[in-house]
Amino acid sequence: MDTLQHMLSWMPALLNGAKITIALTICATVAGLIFSFFLALGKMSRNIIISKICSAYIFFFRGTPLLMQLYFIYYALPLLSPVLTINNRFLAAFIAYSLNSAAYCAEIVRAAIQSIDSGQFEAAKVLGLSHGQTMRLLIIPQSIRRLVPPIGNEFIMMLKDASLVSIIALADLTKVTRSISSSDATTLVYIPAMIIYLIITAFFTFVFNRIEAKMEERE
């Protein structure tokens, strides 16, 4: 009974931490997805300079650990210049996660666009549409339907990777769990914390599955 009461007493703090985890994941994934369209189109651009810059960005953020990127933005940038100091921990985490998510989503977007039948480009050209109009009116709307499953996976991965923000003392679910574990000298707090993670993951997995199913019904 005492153990159950302890677990219940931890719930308000854990749920507040979960709110930060969810908010960070949603904000970073949405921002990253928006930026990723520009990166994907830039990488596919016929302009060699733009293509190389976007490719280099994607290579860098996919090729280096998210943990180091977070460290660099929060701890190293101020050493380069005081102007670059980011005192708000949530903002620092948001920037790091958004930049990282954009690189991964860019490859997802590029693959989705390139999966569209090339014959549609030729048909659009015959109709007198420019390349930009073809992408905006024809190709991208079709590719969006193919983005849901991989973007859903990226979101779930980002949700679990959000635990890394505890290294900059952002009070997410993992940080709160560690604090409770230290203050109460118990590891039992990890049980409700993991259950909360499972519930959050299951909920968003269900949401993305429903969105995918709805899109398939429309086809």
Residues 106-126, mean pLDDT to the nearest whole number = 80
* Residue where the block lists tokens 């860019």: 106
Q: Phi and psi of 184, rounded to 5°?
A: -95, 0
- The domains of the chain, with CATH numbers, are 2-218 (1.10.3720.10)
- Over residues 147-180, the pLDDT tens digits come to 888 999 999 999 999 999 988 988 899 999 999 9
DSSP states along 63-132: HS-HHHHHHIIIIIHHHH-GGG----HHHHHHHHHHHHHHHHHHHHHHHHHHTS-THHHHHHHHTT--HH
In this predicted structure, what is the pLDDT of residue 72?
94
Residue 119 scores a pLDDT above 90: no
Q: How confident is the model at residue 218 (pLDDT cuts 50, 70, 90)?
A: low
Percentage of residues in the chain having pLDDT higher than 70: 96
Rounded to two decimals, what is the model's pTM? 0.88
- Over residues 4-32, the pLDDT tens digits come to 777 788 899 999 999 999 999 999 999 99
In this predicted structure, what is the pLDDT of residue 219?
59
Q: Are 102 and 35 in contact (CB under 8 A)?
A: yes
**Among positive and negative, which fits the CA dihedral 154, 159, 160, 164?**
positive
